[in-house]
Structure 1
């Protein structure tokens, strides 16, 4: 439901699943635009669901991706998604046999896995890679990756909030003393505004950990509603 900001009355009923998927991929792409190397061309997609698709599409809009590697728990699904993305995006794409295989030499890695052991582990990462991670429950990143990366989040407060609001990928290393709160280098907004620096070398590993914040969904819904009105699409329903 999207309310009118002036009156609070319902303005539109939108499919939140689709909007959230696109918004999440777009926010990760923004992090890549701000933190990934400008020439990053090899993309690893970890996972084979909705978020895997939205991330591949979004990342290809901000970096000159020429190769996509897809890895998931089911090799057949990984290969099928690679074929789908390759045809849609016009790049070379292939299914990988494991997360480690997909990550070898990758310059951007998007982790969109649902469960299981951490899909991103430090020994599998190449120097200079930019990593994005969106899993909401459980660990998607190992401690060494978090400790060695330049870490960016949407909101420090949201990222470190108690379960289930925050992210265990950061809260657990914090509680274990692996990192301190100061290790959260920046929020996305600080990078956009230029109040915090981004990448400082081609070899630096950068990490964007997403937890999702409501204001992003609200902004995305408002953009969809504006576009629908401009294009005259949608169905008017009297209330």
Structure 2
């Protein structure tokens, strides 16, 4: 076992189980408990412009204690439109020990970002759905949608059916036999929304709402993962509004709920529950409620998952060691 400052590529992260939905959900639940115990810190993000106006890079710092013992920053570049064939969004997470600040590693975080986002959705499906979830409707076919499909495969094998809608026509981009339940592509969004799904998950890049009043109905949970997919009227129709967290990001985020807040049509006092209320306090909706869940994406989860990856990498000798300091200065993130 070699210790030191370590770089983990996307392939390294995958080899360490970075797409393991249950492990990510365990991390998320542990961080929520640490947040309640005030063993975490999550300042507001900051950003700079890249190239033209459609490019930005965000710095997302956080600290979390417990078995993670990590402080760090996730640096995400939403790149201007390019023709270089590389991903438009690129994320790296820098991790230091929280107790003494020693730099531990740099982790490529595209997989971790999508996996932790899907893990929060799993928590919402388990605790915020007004009825037992038997059918799920998934909207979108990008990185987040594929991560959610994988999460459903791993954590919800007993579903009766998953319906899938996305804009582009054509065959499904996956093999349906890879899943423990029927995966059905629906061509028309109106038909998809008219179905019997108890949960609806939006994972699109829509800048204008796809979902209006008809999406909200008694007994259904609508989970918004993308930016501005749900109309103000639809959110207003929900009998319960839940979030991963309400924070300073409400002043700048493009998420539908926070746009609604800045338009003066929603207030923090109207939030019924956050993930702490769901996991720790036992908050549950009534069977006839229509529930809206806004998933902002908390950077403290990113720091926790990246810390766990570095701990595993140290134990297994995975990744590339970089010579910042003499080796005797380094111990694994969780050690005291």
TM-score by length of 2: 0.62
Question: Paired residue for 2:219?
Answer: 128
Q: Which residue of 1 aligns with 2:295?
A: 210
RMSD: 2.2
Distance 2:262 2:271 in 1: 14
**Would the aligned equivalents of 2:130 and 2:284 in 1 still touch at CA under 8 Å?**
no
* 1:105 pairs with 2:196: yes
- The structure-2 alpha-carbon separation of the partners of 1:117 and 1:105, relative to structure 1 and needing over 3 Å to count, comes to farther
Give the structure 2 partner of residue 179 of structure 1.
266
Match of 1:73 in 2: 167
State the aligned residue count: 228
Q: Give the whole-Å Cα distance in 2 for the aligned partners of 1:13 and 1:188.
A: 28
Residue 158 (structure 1) shift: 4.0
Q: 1:59 to 1:144 in 2, by over 3 A?
A: farther
**Contact persistence 2:245–2:274 (CA under 8 A):** yes
Query: Alignment partner of 1:185: what SS?
Result: coil
1:190-228 C-alpha deviation (Å, 9 max, x unpaired): 22111x622122x21112111122211111212222333
In 1, the alpha carbon distance for the partners of 2:315 and 2:290 equals 41
- Flag the 1:159–1:66 CA change in 2: closer, same or farther, 3 A: farther
Q: Does 1:90 align with 2:180?
A: yes
Q: Which residue of 2 aligns with 1:141?
A: 230
Is the aligned partner of 1:223 residue 2:308?
yes
- Structure with greater strand share of residues: 2
Mapped partners of 2:182, 2:272: distance in 1 = 34
- Which whole-Å CA distance do the structure 2 matches of 1:116 and 1:214 have between them? 22
Question: What residue ranges of structure 2 are gaps of 5+ in the alignment?
Answer: 1-93, 325-336
Give the conservation status (yes or no) of the 8 Å contact 1:109–1:129: yes
Cα separation, 1, equivalents of 2:112 and 2:220: 28
- Counterparts of 1:30 and 1:97, CA distance in 2: 28
The structure with the greater share of residues assigned to helix is 1
Aligned CA distance change for structure 1 residues 75 and 187 (closer, same or farther; 3 Å): same
Q: 1:41 to 1:228 in 2, by over 3 A?
A: farther
**Match in the other structure for 2:104:** 11
Give the deviation of 1:188 after TM superposition.
0.7
CA distance change for structure 1 residues 40 and 9 in 2, over 3 Å: closer, same or farther? same
With normalisation by structure 1, the TM-score equals 0.84
Conservation of the 8 A alpha-carbon contact between 1:106 and 1:125: no
**Bigger radius of gyration, 1 or 2?**
2
8 Å contact 2:130–2:289 — kept in the other structure?
Answer: no
Give the Cα separation in 2 of the matches to 1:181 and 1:204: 19
Instruction: Please say if 1:233 is aligned against 2:318.
Output: yes
Does the Cα contact within 8 Å between 2:130 and 2:291 map onto a contact in 1? no
Alpha-carbon distance between aligned partners in 2 of 1:39 and 1:204, rounded to the nearest angstrom: 13
Compute the displacement of 1:171 (Å). Answer: 3.0
Unpaired segments of 5 or more residues in structure 1? none
1:25 counterpart residue number: 118
- What's the offset of the Cα at 1:230? 4.2
